[in-house]
Structure 1
Amino acid sequence: MNEKDKVPYVVSSKSYTAVAINCAAKAGEWIKSRLGTVAQLSTKTSAQDLVTEVDKGAEQMIRKLILTHFPDHAILGEEGVEPGPEASAQALEAARQEEYLWIIDPVDGTTNFVHGFPFFSVSIALVHRGEVIVGVIYDPSRDELFVAEKGKGAYVHGNPTEVSKEEKLSSSLIATGFPVETSTLLPQNMAALQALVPKVRNVRAGGSAALHMAYVAAGRLSGFWEVGLNAWDIAAGSLLIQESGGTVTDLNGRPYELSVRNVVATNGRIHNAILDVMKEASTGS
């Protein structure tokens, strides 16, 4: 056992990471307290794309906390962007020019939250000159905090995380999610699902991309893929996985960067196998 395994991770109280943790914890506590109290429910791009006053309130809380500490930093949050992939891409392109950019999803898994299904999370990432340097994902239902700092590893409750050791699809538990853009992206996702199900141990679809990625980092899942995502769904989780020894790419195997919307995240060992199956499914070969 190396020294990293022995010593719990400690965060400086004035660090970027400490602020991200504080934001996620405070927002998560408030979100949990609002379970079962949603009075107003709206949709964005489709009937499956929900937003509540809790999403908006949590994002406002996180924004205020960040700007209290770092008033010159930029913030890109899901609830501050107009619905649709074009608006998301435009907002990201404008924001990514900033030296420091916080990317936040106040409630990743809003549908689960609305129905009282305990699989939703707060996702916060800090980007410095285009590179994710801090990633925090908090699960209020289980009080689990996943934290990563660039070059310093990833942790859950202060203990180092490590991706799973499965080397074959047949022994791998993987996860996916279903896109809100059902007319264009759902057929692509279903083709991949149909191709992968017979080849893996099983597939889960929990409804929070951020938590799925945290679970890949923690070795609970060997892989995850989803299409039609946005930077706030993926950014924090991408760093968690990379710092835990895993791999995050687009569907063509290109390394993750902020504009990627179709993502494959794995322990690294099964990555090429998943990409190959998905490529075959998309081409029909």
Structure 2
Amino acid sequence: MHPFLNTAVKAARAAGTVLLRNSERIDTLTIESKQRNDFVSEVDRQAEEVIIRTLRKAYPDHGILAEESGHSGGNEYEWVIDPLDGTTNYLHGFPQYAVSIALRYRERLEQAVVYDPFKDEMFTATRGAGAALNNRRIRVSARASLDGALLGTGIPFREHQEVDGYMKTLRGFIGQPAGIRRAGSAALDLAYVAAGRLDGYWESGLMPWDLAAGALLVMEAGGLVSDFAGGDGYVNSGDIVAASPKVLRHMLGNIHQGLKG
């Protein structure tokens, strides 16, 4: 395992311990609302502190972009951190949440960890070395079309998000896949695409820490990731489509058709 990845795994496990330890006292947590339907708890902050402390100890010169504490400068390496992706799920005792950590070098994704502490599933990837789940190699599904596919998505929930545009993309898929799931954690949705559990995934309005690690997982598992225009601007736009190569082509076609309607 690459030293960078090993450190990220260590940080993710430490954060996962914080999440699990506090999951039994959710009713006593201090919870704030960043905006409508967008919450942050003391657990988010504690988990982020543990991650940053672990990374800083190993790589004090690296930059950090974290959901709760923002950006801190460094050298050409930057860690992109979501200490608790799926906060609303976590606060409701719905066991679909994860720790997400990615490392970028000159804006290129190099390392990725998505850790589900509830199921003890550690998804990892290093650029050029493939993706793994608990140290076993994973691949995207072999499905070639949307017929019988299981897709993941995210429904806009924050203020000022474009709901009408999302509904147009959703209508473009109705009737073709076997099912569409909205589980509430973009990082895990992308990890599930990488592992072949989902055949594809799309969402809009995400932040870099929501999708950075998951995007590299999909690519290293043999899949493709793009924005809604089929380009590589998904980190900046927050609009992402991820799937096996053949399914991605069909998904983009449906999204384009839906947005025209």
Instruction: Give me the whole-angstrom Cα distance separating, in 1, the residues matched to 2:220 and 2:103.
Output: 15
Change in CA separation of 1:152 and 1:256 when aligned onto 2, cut-off 3 Å: farther
Deviations 1:206-260 (A, max 9, x none): 0000000000000000100010001101110111000000000000000255313
The runs of 5 or more residues in structure 1 that have no matched partner are 1-10, 82-90
Q: What residue is the counterpart of 1:42 in the other structure?
A: 32
Deviations 1:144-189 (A, max 9, x none): 0000000001000111010001111012100001223354422211
Does the Cα contact within 8 Å between 2:18 and 2:46 map onto a contact in 1?
Answer: no
Residue from 195, 198, 209 that aligns with 2:172: 195
For normalisation by structure 2, the TM-score amounts to 0.95
| Counterpart code for 1:76 | L
Moved more, 218-227 or 256-265: 256-265
Question: Does residue 212 in structure 1 map to residue 189 in structure 2?
Answer: yes
Instruction: Give me the whole-angstrom Cα distance separating, in 2, the residues matched to 1:43 and 1:235.
Output: 24
1:190 is displaced (CA, Å) by 1.8
Residue from 126, 137, 144 that aligns with 2:121: 144
Instruction: Give me the whole-angstrom Cα distance separating, in 1, the residues matched to 2:171 and 2:30.
Output: 36
Q: What residue is the counterpart of 1:3 in the other structure?
A: none
Number of residue pairs the alignment of both structures matches: 259
User: What SS is found at the alignment partner of 1:37?
Assistant: helix
Instruction: Give me the whole-angstrom Cα distance separating, in 1, the residues matched to 2:110 and 2:161.
Output: 33
Q: What residue is the counterpart of 2:254 in the other structure?
A: 277
The runs of 5 or more residues in structure 2 that have no matched partner are none
Change in CA separation of 1:222 and 1:256 when aligned onto 2, cut-off 3 Å: farther
Question: Does residue 16 in structure 1 map to residue 34 in structure 2?
Answer: no
RMSD in angstroms over aligned alpha carbons? 1.5
Does the Cα contact within 8 Å between 1:251 and 1:262 map onto a contact in 2?
Answer: yes
Instruction: Give me the whole-angstrom Cα distance separating, in 2, the residues matched to 1:98 and 1:227.
Output: 30
| Counterpart code for 2:121 | E
Q: What residue is the counterpart of 1:29 in the other structure?
A: 17
| Counterpart code for 1:107 | L
1:276 is displaced (CA, Å) by 1.1
Structure with more of its chain in strand, by fraction: 2
Q: What residue is the counterpart of 2:210 in the other structure?
A: 233
For normalisation by structure 1, the TM-score amounts to 0.87
Deviating beyond 6 angstroms after TM superposition, the runs of 4 or more aligned structure 1 residues are: none
Percent sequence identity over aligned pairs: 37
Instruction: Give me the whole-angstrom Cα distance separating, in 2, the residues matched to 1:115 and 1:30.
Output: 17
Q: What residue is the counterpart of 1:57 in the other structure?
A: 46
Residue from 211, 218, 224 that aligns with 1:247: 224
